[in-house]
Amino acid sequence: MRLDKMAGARIVDKRSLVPLDVAKIKFDGSFIDYYLPILGILQYYSTGATGSYGSLVLYFYAAIELLLSIGRRPIYFHKGLILFSAYALVSQPIVFSIYGGFTSARLFNFISVIYIVLVLAVFSDSLNIDRFFKVYLRIGFIASAAIVIQSVQLYIFHQDVHGIALLPCDTSGWYSGGDRPCGLFPEPSVYAYYILPLLVLCLQREKKEMALLFTACICMSTSSMGIISSAFIWAYWLLKRFDFRRVIVGCVAIAVAFVLAMQTPMGRFAFDKIVSTDYANSPRLTRGFLIYANLNESQQLFGIGRNNLDYYISNDLVQLTDWASTQVSEANLDYVTTVSGVLINYGLIGAILYFVPLLYMLRKKGVERILLLLFLMLSFVQTMFFDMNFVFLLLVVFNLHSKDDSFIECGVAFRSSDSQRKRISRRSI
């Protein structure tokens, strides 16, 4: 029997039948290490106008952490986000005064941009990556188990499946087709977007079995972008650690997996979905850029205001003559993804101020590079702009990234020996 000491308490080895003194065990890590993986799920559980369960908890905790951090430890602001936020706060009131459409909801948009920048600053150097990964891995496994169970229900027992809401929330906007596994998420693609960063971390930490499991679950979800993104991640990993034997084995394994998958209804459905999509006229991929092309020069330069497209459409201020716009419902006419959305809402100037600093961070060669590439790639097909998706992925990137000239340090940490803490592990595997 081995004895360890933690917080002055005697801890008995796991092999012993003597129960641990749980009350005296000190958890390793901070609240954000445990909560961030949960946020990836709870952000979709809407509470109405106040946001979601996930965002409410994060905002409340971040406010407390910000107050406690003043004068006690440095916080790091991303220069690019500061510059973009300053541009948005100056230009947006002018844009709305010229083109109209300003409401109290637009005022909330201004506040949310500021608050999310503060959230990222408070936690950009606080995440224990090792602890976060362990929690993320466990929760990701549970979320993936739900996908596997629903896949068995759907493909073997031919039962309809729907997203599982763990908390009371509005599920009216969740995918209701019943023919694709959603697990704990509103739709299959959302599961894929949640698990893709974990796939990256598993590969970087050489947990290939778990990476294969998550890849298989993404394929079960039949998310086209999830499957394409996972293929990109595996290709990047194989080429980065280029070894002729490894590449050959990887290619053979992928070919065998593809052939086997094509023998199943699930595999054929996913493959047909990918190859039959008209990407040139996709409501998700191209429609936003076609709308941007229909704006006049000043609107293209400075934008029409964040979330103001619905006002433009309802007042016939922009013509939706493209084929993609005819394929979306009336309720989704104002839906655009991140890249085209930034162009429409903030103009070309805003897009440059937003994306160039993020692209500048790609010069680093650690795991943060592929996570940032994943973030930028998903920005073409998903809305990840100053929301919880945005916070979830960029917080991990910022904590992995060295605090170089991309960040501004604010605040002074105490120098007394009692308050000096060991720097959090940031293994760039």
pLDDT confidence of residue 21:
41
pLDDT confidence of residue 242:
63
pLDDT confidence of residue 384:
86
Rounded Cα distance between 217 and 221, Å, is: 6
Distance, C-alpha 104 to centroid of its chain: 27
pLDDT for 49 beyond 90: no
pLDDT confidence of residue 148:
94
Higher local confidence (pLDDT), 409 or 281: 409
pLDDT confidence of residue 211:
93
301: CB partners within 8 A, 6+ apart? 347, 348, 349
pLDDT for 22 beyond 60: no
pLDDT for 305 beyond 80: yes
pLDDT confidence of residue 14:
41
23: CB partners within 8 A, 6+ apart? none
If one counts every other C-beta atom within 10 angstroms of the C-beta of residue 305, the result is 28
pLDDT for 35 beyond 50: yes
| Whole-model pTM over 0.85 | no
DSSP-derived secondary structure letter, 314: H
The single residue listed with the structure tokens 């679950």 is 217
Rounded Cα distance between 281 and 426, Å, is: 42
pLDDT for 189 beyond 80: yes
Query: Mean pLDDT throughout 188-208?
Result: 93
DSSP-derived secondary structure letter, 298: H
pLDDT confidence of residue 191:
95
Using pLDDT thresholds of 50, 70 and 90, give the confidence band for residue 136: very high
Using pLDDT thresholds of 50, 70 and 90, give the confidence band for residue 27: low
Backbone angles phi, psi at 9, to 5 degrees: -105, 150
pLDDT cut 90: percent of the chain above it: 38
pLDDT confidence of residue 330:
64
If one counts every other C-beta atom within 10 angstroms of the C-beta of residue 336, the result is 23
Query: Mean pLDDT throughout 194-203?
Result: 95
pLDDT cut 70: percent of the chain above it: 76
Question: How far, in Å, are 227, 268, 269, 337 from residue 276 at the CA level?
Answer: 15, 12, 10, 21
Using pLDDT thresholds of 50, 70 and 90, give the confidence band for residue 416: very low
Condensed to tens digits (0 to 9), the pLDDT of residues 347-399 reads 999 999 999 999 999 988 889 999 999 999 998 888 888 889 999 999 999 99
Which candidate, 103, 70, 60, places its Cα nearest to that of 305?
A: 103
pLDDT for 276 beyond 80: no
pLDDT confidence of residue 13:
44
- Weakest mean pLDDT among 139-148, 220-229, 250-259: 250-259
Which candidate, 390, 280, 374, places its Cα nearest to that of 341?
A: 390
What's the whole-number average pLDDT of the chain? Answer: 81
Which candidate, 327, 329, 44, 52, places its Cα nearest to that of 189?
A: 44
pLDDT confidence of residue 426:
43
Task: Tell me the longest C-alpha to C-alpha distance in the chain.
Answer: 76
Condensed to tens digits (0 to 9), the pLDDT of residues 102-129 reads 877 777 778 888 889 999 999 998 899 9
Query: Mean pLDDT throughout 328-334?
Result: 68
* Best mean pLDDT range from 211-220, 332-341, 406-415: 211-220
Give burial (CB, 10 Å; 0-12/13-18/19+) of 64: exposed
pLDDT for 262 beyond 70: no
pLDDT for 80 beyond 50: yes
Amino acid residing at 340: S
Q: Is 5 helix (H, G, I), strand (E, B) or coil?
A: strand
Rounded Cα distance between 297 and 276, Å, is: 35
